[in-house]
Amino acid sequence: DAKTTQPPSMDCAEGRAANLPCNHSTISGNEYVYWYRQIHSQGPQYIIHGLKNNETNEMASLIITEDRKSSTLILPHATLRDTAVYYCIVRVAGSGGSNYKLTFGKGTLLTVNP
């Protein structure tokens, strides 16, 4: 699986959009970009994933550049409860044994301030 690079920490004001970047310059054509977050003392929570098109769900939006070498997770209206470590992961998606490979790096600690 391709390696990702994320800033170690970011701050965001409550109510503002939080934009979390991720670089994955060695991503392969069959690798998806996944985002998870982990709030202190909780299990990792799935947020969103995508292949090459932008994606949106009730939690966030995912913007993937045309060359797929980077992406941005957008939390449109950050709240204090969004304070967490956010992980960007690239992995092959599909059936078979390879789907267990989830390599979590150090992620980005997002702190939402009142």
Partner 1 sequence: DAGITQSPRHKVTETGTPVTLRCHQTENHRYMYWYRQDPGHGLRLIHYSYGVKDTDKGEVSDGYSVSRSKTEDFLLTLESATSSQTSVYFCAISEGARNTIYFGEGSWLTVV
What residues line the site for partner 1 (CB under 8 A)? 32, 34, 41-46, 49, 93-95, 97, 99-106
Q: CA–CA separation, 77 vs 56, rounded Å?
A: 14
**Please, what is the minimum distance in Å from the beta carbon of residue 79 to partner 1?**
19
- Sorted by sequence, the CB contacts under 8 Å of residue 112 that are 6+ apart come out as 11, 12, 13, 14, 18, 78, 79, 80, 81, 82, 83
| Cβ at position 113, least distance to partner 1 in Å | 25
Nearer to partner 1, 80 or 102 (CB): 102
Cβ closer to partner 1: 16 or 106?
A: 106
